[in-house]
């Protein structure tokens, strides 16, 4: 998993409440479990004017000109500014996979669905909860200023705006440790690889019959 320390990112809007995981990555794309390649289909039903299919080339599909991610001013965005209850619906882990594969490393919203919130941390995406009035202010500033960027400093737990404002945010200490060090569940387990190997060796000596090969 990619580590997250400090991000200077262009901000793009998802200016609607209750964006569910089927809207983030529609159900027909859930057949793959490779954790990559989902970026072109992020927000597929909003982003394109036709129906997307797994494995199809998206480069020639008709784009919805009203959708923010298709507008030049938001190209290359890595911070998504959203409304309340972002990531609701089913528990699919493909949703943060799609966001991360597109290039989003941080999502800011007044609230998130719990399972989506947890899945973000496990896949290198930082979800930040801010008061609704602060999110409103960020939306206003972003719409007024093309190229609006935020600096997200995870170790300091501070968001810095272009005018120098600092916005503090809360994050669980363990989740912060994992993101800063790029540790997903597998990475956390591998930190104890030596201890696991020692246990296996000791158990093999204690119960050797469990490790014998049996012929058919």
For 95-131, the pLDDT digits (tens) are: 999 999 999 999 999 999 999 999 999 999 999 999 9
Within a domain: 198:
no
**Mean pLDDT calculated for residue range 173-192:** 78
The total domain count for the chain is 1
What does the pLDDT read at residue 23? 97
Identify the H or E element spanning 159.
Answer: strand 158-160
What does the pLDDT read at residue 176? 96
pTM: 0.87
pLDDT class for 209, splitting at 50, 70, 90? confident
pLDDT class for 74, splitting at 50, 70, 90? very high
Within a domain: 169:
yes
pLDDT class for 24, splitting at 50, 70, 90? very high
Query: Above 90 in pLDDT, residue 22?
Result: yes
Instruction: Domain of residue 60: give its range.
Output: 6-183
Nearest to 47 by CA among 26, 77, 73, 32: 26
Contact 152, 159 (CB under 8 A): yes
What does the pLDDT read at residue 188? 62
Within a domain: 99:
yes
Residue with tokens 């996979």: 97
What does the pLDDT read at residue 186? 57
Average pLDDT, the chain: 91
Residue 120's φ and ψ, nearest 5 degrees, are: -60, -50
Query: Above 90 in pLDDT, residue 1?
Result: no
Residue 115's φ and ψ, nearest 5 degrees, are: -65, -45
The CATH number that applies at residue 151 is 3.20.19.10
**Mean pLDDT calculated for residue range 36-55:** 94
Within a domain: 29:
yes
What does the pLDDT read at residue 193? 53
**Mean pLDDT calculated for residue range 161-187:** 90
184: left (phi over 0), alpha (psi -120 to 50) or beta: beta
Residue 127's contacts (CB-CB under 8 Å, 6 or more residues apart) are 86, 87, 106, 107, 108, 109, 112, 116, 117, 120, 121
Contact 99, 112 (CB under 8 A): no
Within a domain: 143:
yes
Query: Above 90 in pLDDT, residue 192?
Result: no
Within a domain: 204:
no
| CA gap 105, 2 in Å, rounded | 10
Within a domain: 190:
no
**Mean pLDDT calculated for residue range 48-75:** 95
Within a domain: 192:
no
């Amino acid at each position: 998993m990619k580590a997250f320390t400090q991000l200077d990112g262009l901000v793009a809007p998802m200016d609607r409440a209750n964006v569910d995981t089927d809207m983030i990555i529609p159900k027909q794309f859930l057949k793959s479990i490779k954790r990559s390649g989902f970026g072109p289909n992020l927000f597929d039903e909003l982003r394109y004017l036709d129906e997307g299919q797994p494995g199809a080339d998206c480069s020639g599909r008709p784009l919805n000109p009203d959708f923010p991610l298709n507008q030049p001013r938001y190209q290359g965005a890595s911070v998504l500014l959203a409304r309340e209850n972002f990531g609701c619906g089913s528990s699919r882990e493909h949703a943060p996979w799609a966001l991360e594969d597109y290039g989003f490393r941080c999502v800011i919203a007044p609230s998130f669905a719990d399972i989506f919130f947890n899945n973000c941390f496990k896949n290198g995406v930082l979800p930040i909860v801010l008061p609704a009035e602060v999110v409103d202010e960020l939306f206003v500033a972003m719409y007024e200023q093309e190229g609006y960027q935020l600096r997200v400093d995870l170790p300091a737990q501070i968001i810095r705006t272009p005018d120098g404002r600092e916005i503090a945010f809360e994050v669980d200490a363990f989740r912060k440790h994992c993101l800063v060090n790029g540790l997903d569940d597998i990475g956390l387990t591998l930190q104890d690889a030596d201890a696991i190997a020692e246990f296996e060796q000791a158990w093999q000596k204690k119960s050797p019959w469990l490790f014998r090969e049996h012929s058919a």
